[in-house]
């Protein structure tokens, strides 16, 4: 580590310790207030975590950054009244900040420490306060595209909704760093400062390939896309950024296509004979190869894998070639097991040929399903391509 | 004028001032010559750089794109904290390798 880095590190530790100085008192005051939160107090603690996170990111101190990030997330939820700062929550925060102070004492070696358990503990606390809907949103990816259909960003729905708390507007802004910034005597830092003063940069991206390489003539266009959340209304936003209205696209979250079953984590695909189980975040979908014989034992294994992981599942089996009694039994018992654990088990795209007839021959009717507290749609799927 | 040095097997290009439009053409041709002469890892030492404008960013991206074709990435050394903030905000830290020290 050279001198310059050393100096920055010293400054960072001094600043951080200053931020951490009054945190304990602030947190205890927060606990006394309970659900009736003092926003200024929450903000003070939030800013401490936020600024430590930023500095640590800059210095590549992964442990400090990750811990500060988790604490910041919890405080964000308290500020939004999604978590009540009761004794249990405050104790976790106190422990977290205490650990942060410990890491700061030997900041340069802080990445040697094992803080995995603390991070997991804080993640758990955050997750238990998310509604099932929010958990699904966290796992759902929303594509955000230009009017011509080119997808510029893929964001998880929960972050988007959090960025829009308070009825803000969401815009996809297209800058050209040469014409919109350089030619107007501005620097990229100027536009970023303008935006941060009037909203939140949710994400941004540069189109690197359109710049060419060092042997190409200097590019006269450098596209820079910004996903921006702001209270500023659409009619004012183009003045604010001195941009042609055509370069600013309001994004209507409600009108976005249904989030596909893709999570921020790459999907995991497990193969059980003719069945493919795709797991992406909190979503699982089970499909059968078109025209294949849907083996019951293999289906059972796949569904058990979902149950083990606590995942709801969507089954697409309309294209299966023939269904036998064994598979019918597996599907009915899966319906019972999933419902029993509060998970959903639904069919997508209709029932396979002959299923309803087979079920009725076996004495399984919509009424029987009802007595098992299963929706009739568990087997007697709504009219699909092969609906009976 | 820029200073060139070879360090730890990488070529280090050190601009003596800001990377802005008025300097960009000259710097671009120097950088192109250096990259042809020394193919392989390249770092740009920003110790004396306080400002990079849009044209400057275009130049860094062009150098990076050339390196990326060979499976490499541009390394930026001694990045001033303000510049580092800018590069991070613009998510360029996901493409370039940014070294504070």
Q: What is the DSSP string of B24-71?
A: HHHHHHHHHHHHHHS-S-EEEE-TT---B-HHHHHHHHHHHHHHHHTT
User: From CA B90, how far away is CA A144, in angstroms rounded?
Assistant: 18
pLDDT above 60: residue A341? yes
The CATH architecture one would assign to domain B3-98 is 2-Layer Sandwich (3.30)
Residue at which a domain ends, from A98, A129, A160 = A129
Please report, for chain B, the start and end positions of each structural domain, with discontinuous segments joined by +: 3-98
> Which residues of chain A are within 8 Å of residue B82 when distances are taken between CB atoms?
189
For B47, nearest residue in chain A (alpha carbons): A4
User: Once rounded to an integer, what is the mean pLDDT over residues A62-69?
Assistant: 89
Residue at which a domain ends, from A225, A255, A285 = A255
> Which residues of chain A are within 8 Å of residue B84 when distances are taken between CB atoms?
58
Residue at which a domain ends, from A255, A282, A305 = A255
For B85, nearest residue in chain A (alpha carbons): A58
SS3 A337: helix
> Which residues of chain B are within 8 Å of residue A218 when distances are taken between CB atoms?
24-25, 28, 55, 58-59, 62
Which CATH number does the domain housing residue A33 bear? 1.20.120.160
pTM for this entry: 0.53
pLDDT range class, residue A386, cuts 50, 70, 90 = very low
pLDDT above 50: residue A11? yes
pLDDT above 50: residue A314? yes
Say if residue A292 is in the same domain as residue A236. no
In a domain, A139, yes or no: yes
pLDDT range class, residue A257, cuts 50, 70, 90 = low
ipTM given for this complex: 0.85
Is A307 within 8 Å of A279 (Cβ atoms)? no
For B52, nearest residue in chain A (alpha carbons): A187
In a domain, A387, yes or no: no
In a domain, A289, yes or no: yes
Of A5, A188, A203, the CB nearest to B100: A5
All residues at 6 or more sequence positions from B41 whose CB lies less than 8 Å from its CB, including other chains? B9, B10, B11, B67, B72, B75
pLDDT range class, residue A261, cuts 50, 70, 90 = very low
Q: Which domain holds residue A146?
A: 135-255
Which CATH number does the domain housing residue A272 bear? 3.30.750.24
pLDDT of the residue at A357: 79
Q: Do the bridges between strand A199-206 and strand A169-176 make them parallel or antiparallel, or are there none, so unpaired? A: unpaired
Q: At what angle do helices B54-69 and B21-37 cross, to 10 degrees?
A: 10
In a domain, A96, yes or no: yes
State pLDDT tens for residues A182-206: 888 888 878 877 887 787 778 888 8
User: Once rounded to an integer, what is the mean pLDDT over residues A45-62?
Assistant: 81
User: From CA A117, how far away is CA A193, in angstroms rounded?
Assistant: 37
pLDDT above 90: residue A97? yes
Residue with tokens 């044209």: B55
pLDDT of the residue at A149: 86
Say if residue A239 is in the same domain as residue A153. yes
pLDDT of the residue at A329: 82
Contact A187 B54 (CB under 8 A): yes
> Which residues of chain A are within 8 Å of residue B31 when distances are taken between CB atoms?
214
Residue A374's alpha-carbon distances to A178, A233, A379, in angstroms, are 61, 47, 9
pLDDT of the residue at A388: 34
């Amino acid at each position: 580590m050279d001198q310059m880095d050393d100096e920055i590190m010293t400054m960072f530790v001094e600043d951080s310790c200053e931020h951490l100085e009054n945190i304990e008192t602030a947190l205890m005051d927060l606990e006394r207030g309970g659900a009736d939160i003092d926003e200024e107090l929450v903000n003070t603690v939030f800013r401490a975590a936020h600024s430590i996170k930023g500095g640590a990111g800059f210095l590549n101190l992964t442990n400090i950054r990750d811990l500060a990030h988790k604490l910041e997330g919890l405080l964000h939820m308290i500020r939004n009244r999604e978590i009540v700062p009761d004794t249990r929550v405050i104790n976790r925060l106190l422990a977290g900040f205490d650990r942060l102070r410990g890491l700061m004492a030997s900041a340069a070696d802080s990445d040697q420490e094992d803080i995995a358990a603390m991070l997991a503990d804080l993640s758990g606390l955050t997750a238990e306060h998310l509604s099932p809907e929010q958990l699904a949103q966290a796992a759902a990816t929303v594509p955000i595209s230009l009017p011509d259909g080119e997808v510029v960003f893929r964001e998880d729905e929960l972050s988007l909704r959090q960025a829009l708390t308070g009825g803000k507007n969401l815009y996809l802004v297209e800058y050209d760093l040469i014409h919109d910034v350089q030619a107007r005597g501005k620097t990229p830092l100027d536009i970023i400062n303008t935006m941060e003063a009037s909203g939140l940069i949710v994400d941004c991206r540069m189109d690197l390939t359109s710049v060419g390489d060092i042997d190409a003539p200097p590019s006269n266009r450098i596209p820079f896309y910004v996903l921006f959340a702001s209270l500023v209304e659409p009619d004012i936003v183009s003045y604010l950024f001195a941009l042609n209205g055509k370069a600013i696209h309001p994004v209507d979250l409600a009108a976005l296509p249904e989030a596909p079953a893709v999570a921020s984590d790459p999907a995991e695909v497990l193969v059980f004979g003719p069945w493919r189980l795709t797991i992406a975040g909190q979503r699982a979908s089970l499909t059968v190869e078109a025209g294949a014989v849907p083996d019951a034992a293999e289906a059972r294994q796949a569904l058990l894998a979902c149950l083990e992981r606590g995942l709801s599942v969507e089954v697409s089996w309309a294209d299966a070639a023939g269904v036998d009694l064994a598979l019918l039994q597996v599907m009915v018992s899966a319906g019972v097991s999933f419902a029993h654990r509060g998970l959903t088990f639904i069919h997508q795209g209709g029932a396979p040929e002959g299923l309803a007839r087979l079920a009725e021959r076996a004495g399984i009717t919509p009424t029987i399903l009802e007595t098992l507290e299963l929706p009739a749609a568990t087997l007697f799927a709504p009219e699909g391509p092969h609906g009976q | 004028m820029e200073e060139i040095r070879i360090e730890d097997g990488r070529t280090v290009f050190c601009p003596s001032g800001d990377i802005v439009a008025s300097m960009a053409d000259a710097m671009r041709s120097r950088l192109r010559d250096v990259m042809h002469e020394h193919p392989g890892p390249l770092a740009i030492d920003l110790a004396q750089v306080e400002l990079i404008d849009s044209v400057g960013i275009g130049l860094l991206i062009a150098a990076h794109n050339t390196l990326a074709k060979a499976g490499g990435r541009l390394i930026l050394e001694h990045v001033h904290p303000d510049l580092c903030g800018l590069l991070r905000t613009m998510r360029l830290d996901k493409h370039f390798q940014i070294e504070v020290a």
